[in-house]
Amino acid sequence: MLSAGRALSVHTAAARLPRSGQNPIPEIKLTTPTRKPIRLARRIREIQISPTLAVMNRAQKLAAKGIDVVDFGPGEPDFRTPRSISEAGKRAIDEGNTKYTNVLGTTALRSAIADRYKSRYGAHVAMENVIAGSGGKQELFNLMLALVSDGEEVIIPAPYWVSFPDQVAFAGGIPVFAKTEAAEGFRPRLDQIEAVATDRTRGVILNSPSNPTGAVIEEDELRRIVEWCAAREAFLVFDETYEFFVYDGHHHASAMQWFNDHPETVVAVNSMSKTFAMTGWRLGYAVGHRDIISAIGKIQSHSTSNPSSISQAAAVEAFHGHDDDVHRMYEAYCERREWLVPAINAIPGISCSAPDGAFYIFPSVSALFRGNVHDSTSFANFLLDEARVAVVPGTAFGGEGHVRISYATSMDRLREGVARMAAAVKKL
Ligand SMILES: Cc1ncc(COP(=O)(O)O)c(C=O)c1O
C-alpha cells in the first residue's frame, strides 16, 4: 500500500511522442523507495507485458532524444481523420451533444451500424444487436468476460493479434493456438482448429484480414468454421477491423454472412480506427445475438459506460458517404504494398509472401539469426541499434522468426527504412 505523502509520479515522456500507435507503457516510479512490494491481484500476474511494447518504448526513447528513427511499428493509419468526420465531432461539442448517452451507444449510431451489416451481409440485425464501445478492443475484452468461464479454452489461429490471448486469460480462460502456415499465407483452416479442439473448447477467435500477417480467410473455409462452431455450440468471435483493406483480387468474407442461420454462434467485432483513420476517437462495436449484446452491455455499464458522445456523432457522419475517403487510403496502401514486398524480398535473408490484406507485412528473418541475434526480439533490437529502424518482433504475435512491418507510413519513410535495413543486415 502507498502511505500518505508518498506520491506516484508517472513519467509519460514517451507517451507524449507523436504517432506512437503502440500505447506506450508509462514508466511508474515511486518518489521514495518502497519498503514492501505492492500486493497485486492474481489476475494481473496472468497478463503479459508485450515484448512489442518493450522494443517500441526503446524506439520512442531514441526518438525523444532527437534521433531519427524510421518507425515501422505503428498499427495505425498515417492519415488524418477525414475533415467532415472531424467537423461532425466539433459540431457535437458546439451543439452541447456532450452528455452521457445510452450505455450501448446512441440510437443513430447503433441503427447506422445495423443498416451497414444488413446491406453488406444481409444479416437480420437491428440496433438491439449492436453495442458501441471505446474501441474494438473494449468489445473484444467484454466479449471474453461475457462468454468465457474459468478453465474454458478458446482457440486462436497463430500468428495472432497481441491482445487476444491475454484477454482470454484475463477472463479466466485458456488460449489454445492453432498454428497456420507461412507457405499458405497464414490463412487459417478448419482442420488446424479441429486439431487443437477438446471438450473444453468454448469458442474460436478469428481475425480477417489479420494483424499481423495480413491473411484473409477463404470464404468456404470460413463457412465451414462457422458451421463447426455452431454444431459444437461454440462461439465464433470474428474480428474484421481491417475489412476494407484487401488486395490483389482477394475478397473479404465476413462470418456475419451466416449470422441468420447461426445467430447464437457468430459475433462480429469492428472498429472505426483503421477504416476511417479514427484511432484516437476510440470507437468500436460488436454485432451479434441480442442476449450477447445485452450481456456485454451489462459489463460496459459497470466499467466505461457509453463511448464518447462526440466520437459517436463523428462515427454516424463516417457511415454516411465516406467511401471515397476510405478508397483514397486503400489506394495509398496498395501502392506502398506493391513497392514494399519486392523491396523487402530483395534483402538477402528476409522473405515474405504478399499479404492479402490489412497494412502489415510479416516477413521471416530467421535466416539472419547468428551470434547475439538469435530471435525476433534480438533482431528487432539489432535493427534499432544499427539502422534506427523500429519493427515489431514476431514473438509478440506467436510468430517467432518473423517481424511485423507496418506500411501505414509514407513512401519516403518506407524507402528510407528499407535502405537502412538492407545496409544493417550486411553486418550480420
Ligand atoms: C486485429 C485488431 N483488432 C482490434 C483492434 C482494436 O482496435 P480499436 O480498439 O482501436 O478499435 C486492433 C487494433 O490494432 C487490431 O489490430
- The answer for 248, left when phi > 0, alpha when psi is -120 to 50, beta otherwise, is left
Query: Which ligand 1 atom sits closest to the C-alpha of 161?
Result: 1
Neighbours of 339 (CB within 10 A): 15
353 secondary structure, DSSP code: P
The pLDDT of residue 5 is: 35
* Residue 216 contacts residue 196 (beta carbons within 8 Å): no
The pLDDT of residue 65 is: 95
Structural domains of the chain in order of their starting residue, each with its CATH number: 8-43 (no CATH), 51-80+324-425 (3.90.1150.10), 83-322 (3.40.640.10)
Ligand 1 pocket by Cβ (under 6 Å): 75, 135-137, 161, 207, 211, 239, 241, 271, 273, 279, 284
C-alpha 83 to ligand 1 mean position (Å): 22
Could you give the CA distance from residue 411 to residue 345 in angstroms, rounded to a whole number? 17
C-alpha 116 to ligand 1 mean position (Å): 19
Q: What are the start-end ranges of the H helices in 180-289?
A: 190-194, 219-232, 272-275
> Whose grid coordinates read 480506427?
273
Q: What are the start-end ranges of the H helices in 248-363?
A: 272-275, 290-301, 309-318, 323-345
Query: Which ligand 1 atom sits closest to the C-alpha of 358?
Result: 16
Could you give the CA distance from residue 268 to residue 274 in angstroms, rounded to a whole number? 16
Q: Which of 211, 267, 269 for mutating ligand 1's site (highest number of atoms within 8 Å of CB)?
A: 211
Q: Residue 61: exposed, middle, or buried by beta-carbon count in 10 A (0-12, 13-18, 19+)?
A: middle
Q: What are the start-end ranges of the H helices in 67-134?
A: 83-94, 107-121
Task: Return the bridge partners of 13, or none.
Answer: none
* Residue 286 contacts residue 125 (beta carbons within 8 Å): no
C-alpha 271 to ligand 1 mean position (Å): 7
The pLDDT of residue 15 is: 32
Indicate the Cα dihedral angle 183, 407, 117, 284, nearest 10°. 120
- Distances from the Cα of 260 to the Cαs of 125, 143, 296, in angstroms? 9, 20, 21
One digit per residue, the tens of pLDDT, for the chain of length 428 reads: 333 333 333 333 333 333 334 454 454 455 556 678 888 888 887 777 666 677 788 888 999 999 999 999 988 999 999 999 999 999 999 999 999 999 999 999 999 999 999 999 999 999 999 999 999 999 999 999 999 999 999 999 999 999 999 999 999 999 999 999 999 999 999 999 999 999 999 999 999 999 999 999 999 999 999 999 999 999 999 999 999 999 998 999 999 999 999 999 999 999 999 999 999 999 999 999 999 999 999 999 999 999 999 999 999 999 997 789 999 999 999 999 999 999 999 999 999 999 999 999 999 999 999 999 999 999 999 999 999 999 999 999 999 999 999 999 999 999 999 999 999 999 99
The pLDDT of residue 55 is: 78
Output the nine-digit C-alpha cell for 234: 461454440
Q: Which of 20, 50, 271 for mutating ligand 1's site (highest number of atoms within 8 Å of CB)?
A: 271
* Residue 69 contacts residue 389 (beta carbons within 8 Å): yes
* Cβ neighbours of residue 158 closer than 8 Å, sequence gap 6 or more: 177, 178, 179, 180, 397, 398, 399
Indicate the Cα dihedral angle 360, 268, 24, 419, nearest 10°. 0
